[in-house]
Amino acid sequence: MEVLGFFRLEVSGPMVTVALSVVLLALLKWYSTSAFSRLEKLGIRHPKPSPFIGNLAFFHQGFWESHMELRKQYGPLSGYYLGRRMFIVISEPDMIEQVLVEKFSNFTNRMATGLEPKPVADSVLFLRDKRWEEVRSVLTTAFSPEKLSEMTPLISQACEVLLAHLGRYAQSGEAFDIQRTYCCYTTDVVASVAFGTEVDSQEAPEHPFVEHCRRFFASSIPKPLLVLLLSFPSIMVPLARILPNKNQDELNGFFNKLIRNVIALRDQQAAEERRRDFLQMVQDVRHSAATIGVENFDIVRQVFSATKYPANPSQRHPPRPLSKSLSVDEVVGQAFIFLIAGYEIVTNTLSFATYLLATNPECQEKLLEEVDRFSKKHPAPGYRSLQEGLPYLDMVIKETLRMYPPAFRLIHPKHSKPSAEMLRFAAENRHVHTAAKRGVRTNLQAASPTASGPGIHGIKQQLRSVGKGNDWR
């Protein structure tokens, strides 16, 4: 009895605190590393993860350079962890073809953080499963060649403004920021085509639309908060949703209100008075009774081989019923796609193409000759003539995108389909051959295996000193 009394005495007080502290530390240690054995079990090589943050430190030099290093060190099939989240990276054309072509219907969803604001969350980038397929089908209809031809005059109008500004710089010989000039051009196109608004960003940088675009892309998540979000997503993501973000709310409110006002105005106009832009195209087809199946708009299929995947109309799947028409929120979300894609992606592609032409004068001359011949044949070019009459320009753009891809990776989450039979990796691409038969469900990245450029940050200094007569910065 005295012994039992002694133990009862010892377990009270500070001993309980110490015991709970030890248990808590043990749980923290387990939590910090418990998710980091999955890649090894699958036989996929990867950098050694750190507790809590995984391989976040591996990407300190940037995602582009780090992915190139990942392929160099660990081969075409590798992986890493961001926080507790596992990623498998494939960078071999045959494997990428499996994901983007053969198994495309299993990988329609994109990875979402859970922090996307309402207009962006309703865009085709973040919609999921059946609703993604339906909205994508509506957009495919809106982007038919006939409808794109109707929008060509709006883009041509922005081109005329761009050429006028470039002409003044050429006459004066003064140095100018070519990237900013292209940024103004793409902003004008996005405002005109997607938001139904006419602006001249070059002459009116204080315009509300231009200012809100600038603020939209200047906003970012602080690095310490990003580390916490990746390390403790189940805690930090719900917390981040609750915390107020006045700047983001004001930006989203501006674009949301702008598009809703345009839609309300269009509804009051006669059909012949309505502006023929993307917003109107989506409005025209948003109440469609049927949708095109996902099998019919796999554009990537055309990239790999036209002979391997012939365009046979008899093989096309019949339209499917639309569960519900597009909401106004979804229309707003699709307009945001133009903003996200046009503001930086098109700007950077044009900047890189200009840089490559300036550093390869023989290619510049060849392209100029083609454009001159085309201009004589088509004084007022349309969408179809542009598609067929400028093959060398098409090569220049494609080579620019190959060398400096604006988006060099695609991420598809494990939640795309419930089946584990999504994708099987060949044994020769695995580190542990005995695991080759196991199906894999995870966050899957298809990374560009051919791109060779250093990315936007690695070329900015070079852009400042290249050009003929002007300082192409």
Q: What is the pLDDT of residues 328-370, one digit of tens each?
A: 888 888 888 878 777 888 999 999 999 999 999 999 999 999 9
pLDDT of residue 163: 92
Q: Which of 37-51, 86-100, 270-284, 319-333 has the lowest mean pLDDT?
A: 319-333
In the CATH hierarchy, which fold is given to the domain comprising 128-348? Cytochrome p450 (1.10.630)
> 409: which strand partners?
447
* pLDDT over 80 at 382, yes or no: no
Residues above pLDDT 90, as percent of the chain:
16
61-94: pLDDT as tens digits: 888 888 889 999 998 899 999 888 888 888 888 8
Residue-level pLDDT at 128: 83
CA distance 68 to 354: 25
Name the residue among 370, 362, 375 with its Cα closest to residue 393.
370
Give the tokens for residue 472. Answer: 């192409």
Q: What is the pLDDT of residues 294-320, one digit of tens each?
A: 444 444 444 444 445 444 444 445 555
Identify the CA nearest to 195 among candidates 263, 138, 127, 124.
263
Q: How far apart are CA 173 and CA 169, in angstroms?
A: 6
Residues in the chain: 473
Predicted pLDDT at 369: 95
- Report helix, strand or coil for 331: helix
- Of 147, 144, 108, whose CA–CA distance to 294 is shortest? 108
Tell whether the model's pLDDT for residue 460 goes beyond 50: no
Q: CA-to-CA distance for 181 and 351, rounded, in angstroms? A: 9
What are 309's strand-pairing partners? Answer: none
Domain boundaries along the sequence of the chain: 128-348
Q: What percentage of the chain has pLDDT greater than the value 70? A: 75
Backbone φ and ψ of 58, nearest 5°? -65, -25
What's the whole-number average pLDDT of the chain? 76
Among 268-272, 288-292, 299-303, 362-366, top mean pLDDT goes to: 362-366
Least confident of 47-56, 235-244, 459-468: 459-468
Residue 246's CB is within 10 A of a number of other CB atoms, namely 7
